[in-house]
């Protein structure tokens, strides 16, 4: 694993279609976050960062969430193009999980009509789909591996802080984690 800026790994995290539970579990790393801060440079993240554009030359990116809309799709492709090691971070990224329930209810037009038409209180919302506000939905929610190649799968809903640490710690030493055994690959 190449370490660039001042010997630190360039780390990014992104949040696609999901609940942010994986990022919350990441914050549960507690004191390991202090050790991590000494060894990584966070170059992009929805947590504690206001960086707008995904950078080039990222060493590792944790990708939370599934691909549900065109913005997710574009960002994920940019991540893969500019990142050496992409980690599917949590069950939504790995399988679509809860986010993929939408797939059982029809295509994107049926979903929008149901959400903004049939289920709205006409006194609170106009019974029309808001144009220009939402990023265009894809016909189906996809796991990130359906869009780009993935280097490591880190399942869990969310993955526990211990599992996240066990996956990240070897990377800090230039090694790949051993993603074997129930404690590392159990879903849910």
pLDDT band at 114 (very low <50, low <70, confident <90, very high): confident
Q: What is the DSSP letter of 34?
A: H
The structural domains of the chain, ordered by start, are 5-185 (3.40.50.700)
Average model confidence (pLDDT) across the chain = 90
Sheet containing strand 40-44, strands side by side: 40-44, 9-15, 58-64, 83-89, 152-154
CB atoms within 10 A of CB 132: 4
Q: For the segment 122-169, what is each residue's pLDDT rounded down to a tens digit? A: 655 555 666 778 899 999 999 999 999 999 999 999 999 999 999 999
Angle at 111 between CA 110 and CA 112, to 5 degrees: 95
With H, G, I as helix, E, B as strand and everything else as coil, classify residue 171: helix
**What is the percent of the chain where pLDDT is above 90?**
71
Give the residue, 110 or 188, on which the prediction is more confident: 110
- Say if residues 64 and 93 touch (Cβ distance below 8 Å): yes
């Amino acid at each position: 694993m190449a370490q660039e800026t001042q010997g630190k790994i360039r780390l990014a995290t992104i949040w696609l279609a999901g609940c942010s539970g994986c990022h919350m579990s990441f914050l549960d790393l507690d004191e390991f976050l202090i050790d991590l801060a000494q060894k990584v440079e966070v170059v992009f993240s929805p947590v504690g960062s206001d960086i707008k554009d995904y950078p080039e030359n990222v060493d590792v990116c944790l990708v939370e969430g599934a691909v549900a809309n065109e913005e997710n799709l574009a960002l994920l492709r940019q991540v893969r193009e500019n990142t050496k090691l992409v980690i599917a971070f949590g069950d939504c990224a790995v399988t679509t999980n809860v986010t993929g329930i939408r797939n059982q209810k029809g295509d994107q037009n049926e979903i929008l009509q149901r959400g903004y038409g049939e289920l709205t209180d006409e006194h609170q919302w106009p019974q029309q789909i808001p144009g220009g506000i939402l990023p265009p939905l894809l016909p189906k929610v996809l796991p990130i591996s359906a869009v780009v190649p993935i280097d490591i799968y880190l399942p869990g809903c969310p993955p526990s802080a211990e599992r996240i640490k066990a996956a990240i710690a070897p990377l800090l030493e230039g090694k790949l984690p051993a993603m074997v055994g129930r404690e590392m690959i159990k879903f849910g």
